[in-house]
Each structure stands twice: as C-alpha cells, then as structure tokens.
Chain A
C-alpha cells in the first residue's frame, strides 16, 4: 500500500520538516550550547552558535553549589518514590477493573479520572494547612504522596488499557494450574504486562519530575526538587546565562532521554486511551 513517492518531493518535504523540527528544538539546543560557554560568551554580541571556547566550568560551578546535589536527589526521590508507590496501588486496582469488571467499573474509572480534573488551586490551602499542622510540610513523604495521588488516575488508566490486551485465557490457565491470586499477578500478569508497566512508569516519572505546582508550594529547602531549584534562578541569578543553562540542562536531560524512549507509548497514557 505504501507508494513510491517522487524523490524530489521527498527531498523538499524532508528539508521543510527538518527546518521546523530544528526550529522547535532550538531553545533546548541553545540552552545546551550556552551551558558550555563562558558567561561573557553567553551574552556576546553577535552570539555564536558553535564557535566558542567550550568549557565545563559552568557544570563545575553549579555542581559545586552545595545544594544542587540535594535538589537533584530530591527530584529523584520524589519521582521514583511516587512512581513506585503509585504502581503498588495501581496494579491491583487496574487488574481488578480490567479482569473483573462489574456493573460499576466504568463509573469508578470515570470517577477516578474526574479527580484528575480538579484544579490544584481549589485545594491548595487545605493541603497546605494540613501539611503545616501535621509537620509534613517540606518532607519527602508528603510530596511523594501528593504526586502519587495526582498521577494515580493516569497510571490506573494506562495500566488498564495495557491489561485489557492480555488474553483472559492465560490468567485462567494460571488459575487452573493452581496459582493463587498473588502468584497469578506476580508470575503471569506482571511479566506479561512488563512493557506496558515500564512505559507507565516512565510517563509517571516524567510527570512527577516536571510537576511544578505542589513542588513549588509545599517545599522550601528539605524536600525541594529541581523545579524549585530552577525557579530560584528567576532573579537575579538567572542573568548568569551560562550557569542557568548548565543547571537547566542537568534538570531536563534525564527526562528528555526517558521521554524520547517512551514517546510511542505516551499517547495512550496522555489521552486516557481515547486515541490509540
């Protein structure tokens, strides 16, 4: 069905597509390049794209800032922690809704989704005051729980769509083979759904890593992740372009790479299965 397209047309389309792609990517590229410049070169007039003295100085400076490591570590803890916690709750839940659907399953799923629609600002103060009063403000555990709850509906939905693709026969076979519910999930369902679980995990890490409402409002120092670290560059440090760029590059690099790997599966999670 795929047809031969004329070479000339393909060339033209290729050039246009690459130009647009590079244009969209340019801010990221520019940030990465600037991170290797000296501060003087970063604001040089005219700006140079590639021909400057490459230096790692900015990374050293940012890395040496006593707290950078802590922010990075916090980001990792929050993203990974909320993801693992979320999966522990979401896998059984998605299992039960995918393989034991009842009359109300659809309503439950829609209701779960609806919690995601609630604007965070509507519950900002209660969460804030509860955090303050319980002494959980600016702790990892609070942020892990909040980020987990925020993304839980997405994880459940995404897993649900993956589980739905696993033939029920195989789970029944496990049951006939003497597997308990626990063994059925551990030895049969989870390994079979592994690709789906992996991309769900990836999406959740990305979302948690980039979350910038709760992380900004519920942390000060102890549990503050990179979102807050970068926001602190808002002024006047932000005028040190090279350092800002180095910090930014370090903040986005891991997620960029993860995102590229999982882009094909993301659509499903991001649209709750409405577009496949």
Chain B
C-alpha cells in the first residue's frame, strides 16, 4: 500500500511529531551543554567562560557527587530488588485460581496510580511519623521505642515508599508475561515429571526473563530521576541526595548554573547507558 502519494503524505504527517521532539531534545540539551562550560552564578552576577572542563572536574571530584552516585545506586538497586522479587512472587500468586481475582488485582495495582507527592506525604506523616505515625503505634503496641524513620533510616524509608509505588508496575507486567505462557508447555513438563520448583526454574523463569529485563530497564530509567519523593520527604537531607537531586539543588537552589549543568550532562550520559540496553530489547521486538 505504498504509493508515491501515500508516502509523501506519511512524511508530512510524521513531521510535526519529529520536529517537536527534535526541538524538545536538542535545544535544551545544547543549552545545558553550553552552560556547563560557563561559570554562571546569577545570584552573584557572575557570567563568564569557565576554565575548560573545570565544571565537570569540580562536579565529579566533589564528595557530594560520589555520595550522590552511591545513594542513587543503593536506592535504585534496593527498589529494583524489592519490586522484581516481590513482583515475580505476586504475579505467580495472582496467576493462581482465586476467588475475587479481579478485585485483588485492582487492590494490588492501586499504588501505581497514586500521585508521587501524595504517596510520599502519606507515608511520611501518617505512617513514618515518630509520634503519631501508624508505625509508631505499632512499635509502642509491642513495647518498642518508635523510630523516626526519615532521619534514622532515611534511605530505607524512601526505598520503601518508592517500592510501594513501583511494585504494582512490576507485578502487572510480570503477570501479563506469565499469562502468555503456553499452558500446554507446563502440562508437558508436568507429564515429564518435573516438580513445581523445577517447572518454575526451567520454564516460568526463562519465560519471564525478557519481561524482567524490561521491568528492570524501564524502572531504572524512571528511578534514576525520582524527585518528588525526596523533595517531599527529606528534601535531600540525611544522605538521601541522589544525582538528580544534587543537580536540582545546584541549579535551582544554589543557582550555580555552570556546575549544575555539568552535573546534568553527566546524568544524561549515565541514563543513556541504561537506555541503550532497553532500546536494544524494544528494537528487537519491532522486527517481528
């Protein structure tokens, strides 16, 4: 169905999307790149060329950078572990015949639709507050001293909150993948005498491998830029400053644009390394 007419029409119809995305990507990115070579601090009225890669060198060599990368890795890693393992288990559970499956599904999926600022605030105040939070009551009920979660275990708390939000995502996708598993394959394995555990290890898990990879990659991309949860809960204090948050603070809070922009470019590069792997998988899918 390709004719000269339809092909040129297609180009025309694709043009707005391509153009807008091109502008959206290139213009700000080039500007960030430009700013990253400036010593630009509007509050002090400084606006001049930086000394070569000075901003990059300063950003990378500062201890806050190393700390933020470490924090980011711990957070993202922790959330991925919880959501992927939890997601596989939950998906297996929800795949079983149960009464009221639809309702349970809805209950499990709900957190994904909760606004990040809401979930952060609800957890922060109503659960993790050391005086009136529900956890405090629970601790007191068992005779323990309530914990001030956000200052005593800040990273864990944020990992917990974000995992709660993303567990449904992982579950939903893994459940979809499990349901696409050919049941005859399972039955054949059962006839061959495979136990439930080896059926899981040799059939279900390999079948899920691709979905798990997709979950890991997509979540990583989103998690690398978690913002609202930190903004609302700790505001970057208590060692919860991720790379994204560090750049945000440099740019908008301390208004050191040059330094922040260099950090931004570094964040883009790191995110792209993950993105390349994701794109390979998605790209393969386009072929068939």
Distance between A200 CB and nearest chain B CB, rounded to angstroms: 14
Is B231 a contact of A31 with CB atoms below 8 Å?
Answer: no
Question: Once the chains are docked, how many angstroms separate the CA of A265 from the CA of B128?
Answer: 34
Question: Once the chains are docked, how many angstroms separate the CA of A167 from the CA of B132?
Answer: 59
Per-residue interface assignment for chain A, residues 181 to 200, with 1 indicating a CB less than 8 Å from any chain B CB and 0 otherwise = 10000000000000000000
For B114, the chain A residues whose CB sits under 8 A away are: 28, 210, 252, 255-256
**Cβ of B82 < 8 Å from any Cβ of A?**
no
Is A244 a contact of B17 with CB atoms below 8 Å?
Answer: no
Distance between B268 CB and nearest chain A CB, rounded to angstroms: 4
Is A24 a contact of B1 with CB atoms below 8 Å?
Answer: no
The A75-116 residues at the B interface (CB cut-off 8 A) are 89-90, 92-93, 95-97, 99-100, 102, 106, 108-116
Is B137 a contact of A213 with CB atoms below 8 Å?
Answer: no
Question: Once the chains are docked, how many angstroms separate the CA of A187 from the CA of B267?
Answer: 45
Is B214 a contact of A125 with CB atoms below 8 Å?
Answer: no
For A1, the chain B residues whose CB sits under 8 A away are: 183-184, 187
Is B28 a contact of A112 with CB atoms below 8 Å?
Answer: no
Is B35 a contact of A213 with CB atoms below 8 Å?
Answer: no
Per-residue interface assignment for chain B, residues 100 to 122, with 1 indicating a CB less than 8 Å from any chain A CB and 0 otherwise = 11011111111111111111011
**What's the interface size class on B, roughly?**
35 or more
Is B248 a contact of A121 with CB atoms below 8 Å?
Answer: yes
User: How would you classify the secondary structure of chain B's contact residues: helix, strand, loop or mixed?
Assistant: helix
The B178-228 residues at the A interface (CB cut-off 8 A) are 180, 183-184, 187, 210-211, 214, 218, 221, 224-225, 227-228
**Cβ of B126 < 8 Å from any Cβ of A?**
yes
Which of B57-65, B73-81, B272-280 lines the interface with chain A?
B272-280
Distance between A246 CB and nearest chain B CB, rounded to angstroms: 12
Is A16 a contact of B264 with CB atoms below 8 Å?
Answer: no
Per-residue interface assignment for chain A, residues 116 to 129, with 1 indicating a CB less than 8 Å from any chain B CB and 0 otherwise = 11111111111111
Interface residues of A (CB under 8 A from B): 1-2, 5, 10, 13-14, 16-18, 20-22, 24-25, 27-28, 30-31, 34, 43, 45-47, 89-90, 92-93, 95-97, 99-100, 102, 106, 108-130, 149, 152-153, 156, 168, 171-172, 175, 181, 206, 209-210, 212-213, 216-217, 226-228, 230-231, 233-234, 238-239, 241, 244-245, 248, 251-252, 255-256, 258-260, 263, 266-267, 270-276
What are 19 A-B pairs with beta-carbon distances under 8 A?
A18-B100, A21-B104, A21-B108, A22-B107, A27-B126, A28-B111, A30-B122, A45-B137, A93-B18, A100-B1, A118-B25, A122-B267, A126-B29, A127-B28, A244-B126, A251-B115, A252-B114, A260-B113, A275-B214
Nearest 5 Cβ contacts at the A-B interface: A100-B10, A96-B10, A123-B28, A212-B228, A92-B13
